[in-house]
Amino acid sequence: MQLDLKKVPFGQYLSRHLIFEEDDPLGKGFEKGCWLGLAHERSNMFGFGAGVRPAGLIRMQALVDGEAAEAELRATPAVAELKNAAGSIRFAIDGPALLLEGSGLGLKLRVKVGPGEYATRTESGCILVLGATRYIIEMKKGTCDVETSWNLLGLTSNDPVLTLLPENGALEAVFWDCDTTCRKPAAAGSVAEAAARAERSFEAFCSATHGANELYKYVLWLAHMRLQGQVLVTNSKAGDVRAVMMNQCFAALAYKDAEKAFDLLLAQLRLMTKSGLVPAQARIGAVTPEAAAPIWGYVLLQVKDWRAVPQDKLAECDALLRRAVHWWEANRRTDGGEFYYAYPHESGWEHSALIPEAVPVISPDLAAWMALNYAALEKLAELLGKSDAAEMGEKAKAQIRILQGLWDGENYVCRSAAGEHAAACTPALTLLTGLLGEKLPEEIKAGLKHRAFDGFSRYLAGLLTLQFPEEAAAFAATGAENAQAGAASRYDSALCALLLALEGRK
């Protein structure tokens, strides 16, 4: 499979290294051409304006006899190549190491640096100090010249220019992504070895996931990154380097390997606070504690063959899910056993997109999510031989009875947790209860048939197509590409996961 590097970057599972082609699709004034970079948060905290690339990105140009020359950049999931008539340079990634080998070509690297960032020469090449990252260029064959200067008025470095030239026609180097210790782990000894490892990794990922769309699988494989000590799926390594916890649930649905699906669920549950609140998202530097929809039980119940999951992971999942559910019981449950959202309290915003009321709201979708969480705990208790399986089953049934109490014969109503005030209930909240499947009472199930998919994000629409297959064709036809996104960020990892999960239902 050939990658379109204007739409997706060349990279690897868990690695931060990226190679992509900038085509400036949004007209921001970005310089077009080939770029190197590391996945990192780009908050523009220092006020980078239109047309200015964030610090940490590196403009890459081929050199022929020391002069800049046009070259074509192509890539598969395992190897990238910069090539013209004079020669070529091949790239492959092995974790924190980006290896390159070439003949006939050199490279000019123009590094975008921010305040406090700079380049310094070393005996074997160069070190780029980029915040807490040390980007080490280690030459194996050829030379590395570093052109750097300082803006003494601004007390900042001007953008360094690195020139990598071949020796006797050969160029060979390793670019390392290190922390401040500059510690370099063992890595592949050649581009061929690194490419072979990457190919095996991608093939194993393809085998473990539903569907046949290799591009969607590549986007999802690439999106995996270690954040806050856990392996999570980011929105985009080339753009929005965040891991939204709900998206981890969507990604888990793409796995047909039960243990891999459990791993993604466990990763987000491990990030819960001491009190049991699972964060809404994780970034490189922090997590966001906000009570998002607790959809873990639904995802777990979609995973087939729980017996293929090691006993210790089942036990950990049981313990963590109990803690997460207990947070809702302790903080978001009325005396009558009804769970409610308190969105303004968690986020500071007035209300959520689905509940247009700035009050704590008893909502039908939350009753459904909690019923599914209790059902998952019931199944875990049975597998682990715990004594409270029946109790969890009764708690699930109690939530479904609450759900019935919110149904007025035609639609749901949302109620204030503090009184009898009724809040508007959107079609989106109504349809989400359909994820209960056979657990949903027949009267409500019949009332949900042929409801329009209005008011949904594409993510929730994708989730619902798993339960309402008549909508699957329309959702699949929309694909996962976002034409309004920037270079190398045009495919959404969460949508790719949902589309793969949908393929697995056929």
One-character DSSP codes across 430-450: HHHGGGGGGGS-HHHHHHHTT
Residue range 464-472: mean pLDDT, rounded: 84
Q: How many CB atoms lie within 10 A of CB 370?
A: 27
Predicted confidence band of residue 137 (pLDDT cuts 50, 70, 90): very high
* Mean predicted lDDT score pLDDT of the chain: 90
Taking only the tens place, the pLDDT of each residue in 111-127 is 999 888 999 999 999 99
* Sequence-separated (6 or more) residues with CB below 8 Å from residue 265: 248, 249, 252, 296, 299, 300, 317
> In which domain, by residue range, is 82 found?
17-191
**Among candidates 42, 31, 107, which has minimal Cα distance to 283?**
42
Residue 44 falls inside a structural domain: yes
Q: How confident is the model at residue 47 (pLDDT cuts 50, 70, 90)?
A: very low
> Does 382 fall in a domain?
no
170 within some domain: yes
Identify whether 327 is part of a domain.
no
Q: Is 228 left (phi over 0), alpha (psi -120 to 50) or beta?
A: left
Q: For 353-400, what is each residue's pLDDT tens digit?
A: 555 555 678 888 899 999 999 999 999 999 999 999 999 999 999 999
Beta strands in 370-481, from DSSP E residues, in sequence order = 414-416, 422-423
What is d(CA 444, CA 434) in angstroms, rounded to the nearest whole number?
9
Would you call 432 exposed, middle or buried from its count of C-beta atoms within 10 A (0-12, 13-18, 19+)?
Answer: buried
Euclidean distance between CA atoms 447 and 409, whole angstroms: 8
Q: What is the structure's pLDDT at 469?
A: 81
Residue 428 lies in a domain: no
Residue 163 lies in a domain: yes
DSSP letter at 467 equals: T
Percent of the chain with pLDDT over 90: 69
> Could you tell me the pLDDT band of residue 421, with boundaries at 50, 70 and 90?
low
Q: Does residue 393 lie within any of the structural domains? A: no
pLDDT at 46 over 50: no
Least confidently predicted of 203-207, 351-355, 386-390, 470-474: 351-355
Q: Is the pLDDT of residue 226 over 60?
A: yes
Task: Pick the range with the lowest mean pLDDT from 100-109, 210-219, 257-266, 285-294.
Answer: 285-294
The single-letter code of the amino acid at 422 is A
| Structure token digits, residue 461 | 């629409």
Nearest CA to 417 among 343, 353, 349? 343
Structural domain total, the chain: 1
Question: pLDDT at residue 84 above 90?
Answer: yes
- Picking from 214, 239, 233, 242, the residue whose alpha carbon sits closest to that of residue 25 is 239
Residue 153 contacts residue 162 (beta carbons within 8 Å)? no
How large is the average pLDDT for residues 435-439?
90
